[in-house]
Structure 1
Amino acid sequence: MTFLFAVIGIAAIGFLLWRAFGPQLADSENRDERPTRQPSGPVGPDDDPDFLLDLDRRTRGPNGADGEDI
């Protein structure tokens, strides 16, 4: 039973040391050098230019006029 507590304690201490001095230390040093991440593509259909163009075409009709003028 003592062996089990010792293993759990060593694992807990190792985890805490890793969290304290692990990858976050390298991340904070290089944070200024990294470029900010830009969105890779449209998030939703209202941000997609192709979708909006198609929606505009379908709404205005084949002659390009608004539907209210007809």
Structure 2
Amino acid sequence: MIYLLALVVLVVLAVLLWKAFGPDTSTPPAGRVLGPDDDPEFLWRMSRKARPSSGDSPDGGPKDPPD
């Protein structure tokens, strides 16, 4: 019985030490990563590819990079 009590105390002590001195997870990552569905330029290029083009676009958006 004493061994079981010692094991419980050791586990509780290990958890408390891990919480006190373990890796810091309270701070979020430094920068925000934009996925392709959040990137306005990517969305503009996808809509541009979906439309049939007949010359330059009158909307004045960014130019498509050469492939």
* Band the TM-score falls in, shorter-chain normalisation: 0.3 to 0.5
Higher relative contact order (CA 8 A, sep 6+): 2
The two structures have a TM-score, normalised by structure 1, of: 0.47
